[in-house]
Chains A and B, each alone.
Chain A
Amino acid sequence: MLRPSQEPSAGPPSRREPSRPWRTRARHDPLHTLRTARAVVADLKDGLSGPGARRAARRLRRLLNVTGLGLADLSGTLVWSGRAADPDAVSALVDQVLHGETAKDRPPLVAVPVYAGDGLAGALVVAGQVRRSAVREAAAWVADAVERGRMEASVDRAEQAELRALRAEISPHFVYNALTVISSLMRSDPDQASELMLDFADYTRYSLAQRGDYTTLSDEFHAIETYLALQRAVLGDRLRVQVRVAPEVLGVAVPYLVLQPLVENAVRHGIEPRAGAGLIQVTGEAEGNDCVISVEDDGVGMDPEHARAILAGRGGSDSVGLANVDRRLRHVYGPWYGLVVETAVDAGTRVVVRVPRFQPGVMP
């Protein structure tokens, strides 16, 4: 094993000579080589100035069986592993490589540029007896690792952005129906119009909220009651509603607006398409360590196969709400916590959400 004192922490290598020569073990085991290569990719996921860069340099040094190896980022900051080399010579060489974008050979040092994506990302410096082709190959591997890290980060960012975008969805169908009703009530019943306008303000304020990612179930239930108050004005006696929530689940943290799309879906697919009145029941209760929320309508129902297609995102544009909620729940709580849809033709629809009452990292 290496003694810690022989491993310079970061930055330019020190002038101090190690007390004894490096024990370098050449390995020709392909399994070892593959394992090292994979580890280097993981080490470099945050780039050449990330926390894993020094580990990556150490692994590459052993793989190439050289006395010293350094990785420099675009600013010229270097992490070094192995026997100390002249720091001035190294940093001068790194500068030249970064500015000239060409490989430099100054025995015993070799430095090559590392390209990731469509630009320069840094440089690889090797000290010791080594073939130029091996250095080029190592630099290419480092470049691929850096690029992969960048792509993963951008996928993460895109996913976050998508989750936020999914949350902000407001149904235009509902908004204009509500505004039409309010506008008509302005003459016939100004008090109710004013009351509904306040509900509408609450509805939009909640739907457009730009706070954190999570809220309490208490707020979610309040939001659907506001939504249902507006829908009652639109649908009149056709919409009957029962909401029941147990106080012990009011403090449960959930992602914003997971409930409203389910209730909206129940209204659109359970109540609106048929002539008579319909009943929507929303409940929230504790079941051991889980909180179970169900949204049920006694409407037209659907073929269970169609419900599966909807959850898989193949349900057409008017049922993306359900698929979005399903995706967000799985993203936050893991694959077991998606929506459960119980339905059959002419048998109504029941959508069940099950979330842990306490989940690390999920806080309003």
Chain B
Amino acid sequence: MLPSPNGLRVLAVDDVPLALAELCRLLRAAPEVGEVVAADDPISALRSIQGDRFDAVFLDISMPGLDGVELASLLAKLSEPPVIVFVTAHEEHAVTAYGIGAVDYLLKPVRAERLATALTKVVRMASAGGSPASPSPVRRPDAMAVLPVETAGRTRYVRRSDVRFVEANGDYVRLHTPDGVHLVRMPISRLEEYWSDSGFLRVHRGYLVALGAIRELRSDSAGGLLAHTDLGDVPVSRRHARELREQLLRAAQTGMFDGSERGA
């Protein structure tokens, strides 16, 4: 099932009126979302779904009559099931949520940054055909392991493994490496696509960082987060902080930082 062309059509279900209003407000403010329909109980949610077609359903779990998990099981039986995201106050529901094929679960109260992450998953899932069983993005062949850069009329090559972080600069990116900063004509979003499978993460609108190059996470009085590398600090926006922490934790747990090649 392809997402609707004018943005996602989303059904939001919660039996607490103010919680529903807040969820709808956050959804409407999100750029990925085209239309939001609110249902304040599971039965009217079922009615809306029968008469209409939705890309995604954001479901509260604790509801009287028919709870969110039961409702989701019913939805999963539809011929074109919508993508399900649970919204819940209880973390222990997470296991159940994933067990019945939800793409994400949000904890109440919902943060806008966290909702944005969930919507990214929804978009990916809706365009992949809605089945959470096949979410793995196609791994492209390793492209751009080396980038050509023009320096004073000469072409040199910069290895990806030498790049600590990338800074957006208009249509160009600045590659920060131990032997200097190199300018390459390419938008940062394109480079992110190429390098995201090779340990690079977008941590800010204007920055891409190599996870293995991060020596420290620093936060200061203003509450801003910085990823410190031996070539300088990279700002981390609030929206990307969670993803960065998760990826770093995963990398640490798989021993990525234990190697001796990190030096000092």
Q: Give the interface of A toward B (CB within 8 A).
A: 197-198, 201, 205, 209, 211, 216, 218, 221-222, 225, 228-229, 232, 239-251
Given A197-B109, A205-B107; A249-B252 close (CB under 8 Å): yes
**B217 touching A247, Cβ below 8 Å:** yes
**A245 touching B217, Cβ below 8 Å:** yes
**B216 touching A246, Cβ below 8 Å:** yes
Q: Is B91 an interface residue (CB 8 A)?
A: yes
Q: Is the interface of B mostly helix, strand, loop or mixed?
A: mixed
Q: Is B218 an interface residue (CB 8 A)?
A: yes
**Alpha-carbon gap, A251 to B248, bound state (A):** 9
Chain B residues closer than 8 Å to A239, beta-carbon distance: 221
**B219 touching A241, Cβ below 8 Å:** yes
The B220-263 residues at the A interface (CB cut-off 8 A) are: 220-221, 223, 228, 245, 248-249, 251-253, 257-258
CB within 8 Å: A-B pair count = 64
**A247 touching B219, Cβ below 8 Å:** no
Given A201-B109, A244-B216, A245-B216; A250-B223 close (CB under 8 Å): no
Q: Is B28 an interface residue (CB 8 A)?
A: no
Smallest CB-CB separation from A224: which chain B residue?
A: B219
**Alpha-carbon gap, A221 to B215, bound state (A):** 16
**Alpha-carbon gap, A215 to B114, bound state (A):** 21
Q: Is B214 an interface residue (CB 8 A)?
A: yes
Total contacting residues, chain B, CB less than 8 A? 24
Chain A residues closer than 8 Å to B253, beta-carbon distance: 251
Chain A residues closer than 8 Å to B91, beta-carbon distance: 205, 209, 211
Smallest CB-CB separation from A216: which chain B residue?
A: B249
Smallest CB-CB separation from B250: which chain A residue?
A: A251
**Alpha-carbon gap, A170 to B109, bound state (A):** 20
**Alpha-carbon gap, A246 to B218, bound state (A):** 9
Q: Is B185 an interface residue (CB 8 A)?
A: no
**A250 touching B218, Cβ below 8 Å:** no
Chain A residues closer than 8 Å to B251, beta-carbon distance: 247
Chain A residues closer than 8 Å to B248, beta-carbon distance: 218, 247, 250
Chain A residues closer than 8 Å to B215, beta-carbon distance: 246-247
**B218 touching A198, Cβ below 8 Å:** no
**A244 touching B252, Cβ below 8 Å:** no
